[in-house]
Structure 1
Amino acid sequence: MDTVEVAPGLHQVRLGTSTHLLNAYLALEDDGVTVIDTGAVGSAADIRAALRRLGRAPGDVRRIVLTHFHADHAGSAAEIAGWADAVVVAGEADAPYVRGERPGPGPVFTEAERRLHEVVAAGLPPAPPCRVDQPVSEGDVLDFAGGAEVLSVPGHTPGSIALWLPRHRVLVTGDTVAESEGGLVLGPFNTDRELAWHSLRRLSAYDAEIACVGHGNPVLREAAAALRAATDPFG
């Protein structure tokens, strides 16, 4: 686990392994920290360590944003939410799944995705239920990074969200987009592949310089062009 500053005040926390890189992001402000995605169960210790290396404390977390309900992104949300009086944010349609009110819908696998899922999801524990204080939808603006606009990007999950940070021309894509072998791809394991492609194409219309993806390495230059060139190796 290490941290990389991808934009002023925005740090990638590299979780997982070199072959299955999973990201959380920390947005540092004078008055606190926003955690974007929390990794799987057990990742809270790594996020705590990243905060301390950046000169912050667990009690500085004032907001947790979940791009979607999957266990590798929301698995440590409940634990981190207990560190401080943090507001937990999730897409409105995914909020019931984060809260544990009902099971979330499973992916519709292609054959290639099925084989991949057997490898990367082996032994992944379910996410404990976590409160959602602020369900969000298209056009809501969160008060960090100069104003983070919520984008509704359904397809990976019904309530997947992305964030547009216009001050730094950064897109935080969640799992709608992944990085693989230096290029961007449609993230695998979608509930609705066609809708996920539509959401990816929508993201490509933003004038983004940086794309912070859920899995793989962020794109740090000319992200809009990389999004337009995205492929689907799992289709």
Structure 2
Amino acid sequence: MDVVEVLPHLHMFRFAVGQAYLWRDGTSLTLIDTGLPGSGPEIAEAVRGLGHDTGDIARIVLTHFHQDHVGSAAEVRSWHGAPVLAHEADAPIIRGERPGPPPVLADWEKPLFESVASGLPEAPPTPVDRELADSEVLDFGGGARVLLRPGHTDGSIAIHLPAHQVLFTGDTIANVQHLGVGVFNLDTARTVESFRDLSELDTEIACFGHGDPIIGGAGAALRAAVAAMD
């Protein structure tokens, strides 16, 4: 796993598949997504390497139910009881109460899905301590706004920190080879509309579930990508 500094108080954890983010407010940490099952030891090592204890993780925010995002949430929660937060639409899937619906794949996505996603380990059920709603504000980053932007999954959320002009997009947007809509969506048309909505936010730094963050001018880059899709 690679640890990449985005800002002095924001680091990206890049796994073999997908990535997570660690936001710091003083000694309080927020982990956004958790990688595949088995990523816990790497996360713990990275947290300690940044000068913190795993007990400093105050909350775990999950952007959606896919296993490369929720896979190690149960393990991280088990360390010191950090609560897991996820949108109410995806929470039953994360808890293992019902299976997640499969993506609706375009023909060109099918071989990619087979090579990248179909063999990934299933995420163990994870308690969801707090079910989130659209426009809810969380107590980190100067007020972190939860934005329900469905399409990738029904409960896909983005997290916007207006005070810092930072946006975590989950998999609604990806920056792999080019900036565009994420793949493996339940409803690609809805995902495109969610991308449009997110592009209108006041954003300087955009952090994606897959691909390098954009550091500086992210809002303009997102709007240019929307214009290119049009």
TM superposition shift of 1:85: 2.1
Secondary structure at the counterpart of residue 211 of structure 1: strand
Looking at structure 2, the residues matched to 49 and 120 of structure 1 have their Cα atoms a distance apart, in angstroms, of 26
Asked if 1:88 is matched to 2:84, the reply is yes
Asked if 1:192 is matched to 2:187, the reply is yes
Secondary structure at the counterpart of residue 82 of structure 1: helix
Q: CA RMSD in A?
A: 1.4
Q: Is the 8 A contact 2:173 2:179 kept in 1?
A: yes
Q: Is the 8 A contact 2:30 2:59 kept in 1?
A: yes
Q: Any unmatched runs of 5+ in structure 2?
A: none
* 2:180 partner letter: V
TM-score by length of 2: 0.95
Secondary structure at the counterpart of residue 214 of structure 2: coil
Q: How many equivalent residue pairs?
A: 227
Instruction: Identify the residue that residue 99 of structure 1 maps to in structure 2.
Output: 95
Instruction: Identify the residue that residue 202 of structure 2 maps to in structure 1.
Output: 207
Looking at structure 2, the residues matched to 153 and 122 of structure 1 have their Cα atoms a distance apart, in angstroms, of 24
Looking at structure 1, the residues matched to 136 and 113 of structure 2 have their Cα atoms a distance apart, in angstroms, of 33
Looking at structure 1, the residues matched to 31 and 114 of structure 2 have their Cα atoms a distance apart, in angstroms, of 28
Higher relative contact order (CA 8 A, sep 6+): 1
Looking at structure 1, the residues matched to 7 and 164 of structure 2 have their Cα atoms a distance apart, in angstroms, of 7
Correspondence for 2:106 among 105, 110, 115: 110
Looking at structure 2, the residues matched to 61 and 51 of structure 1 have their Cα atoms a distance apart, in angstroms, of 9
Percent same amino acid among aligned pairs? 55
Instruction: Identify the residue that residue 14 of structure 1 maps to in structure 2.
Output: 14
* 2:74 partner letter: A
Looking at structure 1, the residues matched to 7 and 145 of structure 2 have their Cα atoms a distance apart, in angstroms, of 16
* 2:4 partner letter: V
Looking at structure 1, the residues matched to 195 and 78 of structure 2 have their Cα atoms a distance apart, in angstroms, of 33
TM-score by length of 1: 0.93
Secondary structure at the counterpart of residue 111 of structure 2: helix
Looking at structure 2, the residues matched to 69 and 46 of structure 1 have their Cα atoms a distance apart, in angstroms, of 21
Q: Deviations over 1:194-223 (max 9, x none)?
A: 111010000000121111000010111211
Secondary structure at the counterpart of residue 79 of structure 2: coil
Secondary structure at the counterpart of residue 90 of structure 1: strand
Asked if 1:78 is matched to 2:80, the reply is no
